[in-house]
Amino acid sequence: MSVTPAIETAAPAVPLKVRLGGWGTGLMLLAVWLLLIVATGLYRQDFLSHQTLLAVTFTMAVVGVLAIGQGLVAISGGFIDLSQPANMILASLVAVRLSEAGMPLAVVIVGAILSGMLWGALNAAIVVFARLNPVIVTLATNFIGLAVLFLVFQLAEVPLNSEIYQFGRASFLGLPAIFWPMLALVLIVGLLMPRTRYGRRAIAVGGNKAAAKARGISLKLTRFAIFTIAGGFVGFASVLFAATAGPFNPGSANTLQLNIIAGVILAGISLAGGRGNFWMLLLSVGFLSTIPTSLVFFGLSSDTQSIFQGFILIIAVAIDGWRARKGTP
């Protein structure tokens, strides 16, 4: 897009020297999140309850794992993966079918992850071999994928009292069981990205692909790896989704998409690629997941939720654009 040149010139001059930065983003997010919690708590004392904590962490789980996948695509310069809904529904269907066949939970999880990785690899194949922009490729594969899924099934649900069903309703240390894998994944990815060779390569490709190429990093292999791994995260998110969503249809994941993109941008993971800290996802996703519950306590209808989320996203990208323009990442 025509504004990217400006952003690219603002990218760090030494691309392989990865910025850990963005703690300012973290403090700001934390402040806004606390403000929301305190404001709601003052308005309605009963907001500050274990019930609210359960609701927020429950929402965070699926969104958080999807946001890791989206963040990986964004940080490596792939911009956005718009096909996450189709990928997730396909992997969820795989999870449902496997658990209907009586498979143990481990097999269900592996099956869903493989399905997700396969989808990611398919996107990557089109992106790499046809040299097309991922935004349009994933827009098209989402179109095609959801249409095919609608032809395949109308409604699916994990069998009652199957292992995955139990997992979706279990709790651990007072929080939903599905929250913990999300927390672990965000912490691990956030730890590994700036500290391992492969993580730094991915960030370098996103920051300045010409420089990355000059350093001998294969752009094609990196794209393939990133899309496949990001697909794997979507696959795992599908397990959490299928475990908790109840009956779902091919359109059920559409509403998640924007929340995830908003989460990634708010976390300071630049859509232009090359910078971001995955740990921030905990704050941004936490903040976004608190909004629905907060609004309920303020007595506002669930429709107003999208108004807030939409304007928060606009403000976040405006700040993101402003920073890139001023060259202070």
Partner 1 sequence: MTDITAAPVRKGLSEDWRAILTGSVASISITFIAVIAIGWFWVGPKFLSFGNVSIMGTFLIVPLIVGAFSGFALLSGVVDLSIGSMVAFSSALFALLISLGWDPATTAVVTLVACLCFGGINAIAIVGFGAEPIAATLGMLVALRGIAWVLLGSQGTIFAFNIDMFNLISLQLFGLPLFFLVAIALTVVAALIVTRTRAGRHVQAVGGDDKAAARAGISVRGVRVAALLLSSFGAGLGGIVYAAQLGSAARATGFGLEFQVYAALMIGGYSILRGGVGNPIGGALGLLAVAGVSNILDLKAISPYYVNIIVGLLLLAAVLLDRIRGGDAYE
Q: Which is nearer to partner 1, 237 or 291 (CB)?
A: 291
Report residue 17 as tokens. Answer: 């020297």
**Minimum distance of partner 1 from residue 57's CB (angstroms):** 23
Q: Does 298 bind partner 1 (CB under 8 A)?
A: no
Residue 136 contacts partner 1 per CB under 8 A:
yes
Q: In 3D, which of 286, 257, 284, 289 has the Cα closest to residue 269?
A: 284
In the list 23, 43, 143, 298, the residue contacting partner 1 (rule: CB under 8 A) is 143
Among 30, 36, 258, 296, binds partner 1 (CB under 8 A): 258
Q: Does 211 bind partner 1 (CB under 8 A)?
A: no
Cα(297)–Cα(36) distance, integer angstroms? 12
User: How far apart are the C-alpha atoms of 141 and 89, rounded to whole Å?
Assistant: 13
Nearer to partner 1, 209 or 275 (CB): 209
The alpha carbon torsion through 261, 243, 113, 249 (nearest 10 deg) reads -70
Is residue 134 within the footprint of partner 1 (CB under 8 A)? yes
List Cα–Cα distances, 220 to 1, 63, 131, in angstroms: 21, 28, 10
Among 18, 75, 80, 122, binds partner 1 (CB under 8 A): 80
Residue 264 near residue 281, CB atoms below 8 Å: yes
Which of 53, 110, 125, 219 touches partner 1 by CB under 8 A? Answer: 219
**Residue 311 touching partner 1 (CB under 8 A):** yes
Give the separation between CA 141 and CA 129, rounded to whole angstroms.
15
- Residues within window 11-70 making contact with partner 1, judged by CB under 8 A: none
User: Of 71, 62, 314, nearest to 190 (Cα)?
Assistant: 71
CA distance 286 to 279: 11
Which residue among 271, 280, 281, 285 contacts partner 1 (CB under 8 A)? 271
For partner 1, which stretch binds (CB under 8 A), given 19-27, 108-116, 232-240, 261-269? 261-269
Cβ atoms of 272 and 7 within 8 Å: the answer is yes
Which among 174-182, 226-234, 284-292, 316-324 is the span making contact with partner 1, rule CB under 8 A? 316-324
Nearer to partner 1, 200 or 323 (CB): 323
Q: Considering the rule CB under 8 A, would residue 200 count as an interface residue with partner 1?
A: no
249 is a site residue for partner 1 (CB under 8 A): no
Q: Least distance from C-beta 35 to partner 1, angstroms?
A: 20
Burial of 219 from C-beta contacts in 10 A (0-12 / 13-18 / 19+): middle
Binding of residue 120 to partner 1 (CB under 8 A):
no
Residue 75 binding partner 1, by CB under 8 A: no
- 8 Å CB contact between 209 and 77: yes
What are the Cα distances from residue 77, in Å, to 85, 116, 295?
A: 20, 20, 35
Please report, as ranges, the residues that interact with partner 1 according to CB under 8 A: 1-3, 5-6, 79-80, 126-127, 130-137, 139-141, 143-144, 146-148, 150-151, 209, 213, 219-220, 258, 261-262, 265, 271-272, 301, 303-314, 316-322, 324-325
